[in-house]
Amino acid sequence: MNKERDQREMQRAVSNVGTDVEYMPGWANDFETEALPGALPQGMNSPQRCNYGLYGEQLSGTAFTANPPERTWCYRIRPSVKHSARYSKVDMPYWKSAPCVDPDVISLGQYRWDPVPTKEGLNWITGMRTMTTAGDVNTQVGMASHIYLVTESMVDDYFFSADSELLVVPQDGRLRFYTELGVIDLEPKEIGIIPRGLVYRVELVDGPARGFVCENYGQKFELPGRGPIGANCMANPRDFKAPVAAFEDREVPSTITIKWCGQFHKTKIGQSPLDVVAWHGNYAPFKYDLRTYCPVGAILFDHPDPSIFTVLTAPSGHPGTANIDFVLFRERWMVAENTFRPPWYHKNIMSELMGNIYGQYDAKPQGFVPGGVSLHNMMLPHGPDRDAFEGASNADLEAEKLDNTMSFMFETRFPQHLTEFAAKEAPLQDAYIDCWDSLEKKFDGLPGKK
């Protein structure tokens, strides 16, 4: 650990990255930032000669003719072709991509897992554990859900995904993402979004870390349409933070691992690839504090659809039906009258994977623990267990603060297929399906009370 710490300190000593991480506010803004004065060209993107002997290079997150296009111009010490050499295939047996359908694994069912135990010797890449896959990475539709377990920092080791953007949801421990466009710190109750194609490395801040990842193969995440809700509440654009420019000028043997069409390849280079001195554009990583999410809900009667709690959505080709929705269930007031307040029983065209960040989820008071995961696949019925149903059906309905709770959902229009790891190695709660066994028949043929 001392050697690793010394290496990290040496990395920082030859970069312009300070101890205080700075950010620029605003979702999908067109940012401009420079780490050295005058490094960013003004009035044009590609001058004949860039200041400081930098190279101009565009990173495109959409097709050129997309409306609006998403792209960032980078001004860097070396062009990216100098950070790309011959590739050799490497095996990452626990990081799977769709389609990944194991004929020996049954994905049809209601499933729940305890937290996956952490093991030593795992970094951001080797510590990724895929739970489910959906869609097809080759046709750029669908997603995968992962648990990450990190016990070691990446040293002179970098990564990018050509397949997907990553939505990172920490559950325990803090991470620092050193990216081409700047530095992002992430801790529990925050999320990070790492775009497709962006090179980065991940370091631990103060000990082991664990959490959840949604790997989005399809269209990028965006803020959901608010409709009649109007301009306020939910996730506000100003609360998303993009990093300021920060660069490293280090000539040291390094490796870059690339995820491409579900396969992993490694290339060796002679320097740090995080050498962007200035940049401008709207294709960038972000962080967001989930505590700034302002939920809206019923203030008279009935429980609204969970879509009311959508933080981000990745659209599909079908309006109103998402490739992925990221939905947050956080602290909030419950005030609806004459109403069953927890989520009701239902079955759904969407497939729902949930994770618990902290606290107790109101529909499942027992068993769904922080760090745990549940899966309710498309058109499979689910809802409150007996204790939750009885408690909500017989409670005195006063205004009640649902406190100390934060769970989320990765919801997709595709069926989510369990990986072999999820089915055979992860700590599956075999008795979860039995939580509905004690539900009683209450029908007596008599009219209910008015």
Report the catalytic residues: 303
Q: Alpha-carbon distance 336 to 298, whole Å?
A: 6
Q: Alpha-carbon distance 95 to 398, whole Å?
A: 47
Q: Is the CA virtual torsion 144, 148, 152, 153 positive or negative?
A: positive
Q: Alpha-carbon distance 5 to 7, whole Å?
A: 5
Q: Measured between alpha carbons, how far is residue 437 from residues 102, 369, 386 in Å?
A: 29, 21, 8
Cα(first)–Cα(last) distance of the chain, in Å?
A: 68
Q: Is the CA virtual torsion 365, 106, 411, 199 positive or negative?
A: positive
The number of helices, as runs of H, and strands, as runs of E, in the chain is: 3, 26
What is the gyration radius of the CA atoms in the chain, in angstroms?
23
Q: DSSP string of 16-61?
A: S--SS--EEE-TT--EEEESSTT-S-SS-S--SS-GGG-EEEEEES
Q: Measured between alpha carbons, how far is residue 230 from residues 200, 224, 225, 237, 336 in Å?
A: 37, 11, 9, 14, 21
The residues, any chain, with a CB within 8 Å of residue 423's CB and separated by 6 or more, are: 102, 105, 106
Q: Which of 422, 450, 436, 343 is nearest to 112 (CA)?
A: 422
Give the single-character DSSP code of 346: B
Beta bridge partners of 358: 406
Q: Measured between alpha carbons, how far is residue 14 from residues 10, 18, 104, 271 in Å?
A: 7, 11, 51, 12
Q: Where are the beta strands (DSSP E) in 124-237?
A: 128-136, 141-150, 157-161, 165-172, 175-179, 182-186, 190-194, 200-204, 209-216
Q: Alpha-carbon distance 405 to 358, whole Å?
A: 6
Q: Which of 48, 62, 41, 40 is nearest to 247 (CA)?
A: 40
User: Which SS3 state, helix, strand or coil, does residue 383 take?
Assistant: coil
Preceding omega of 195 cis (within 30 degrees of 0): no
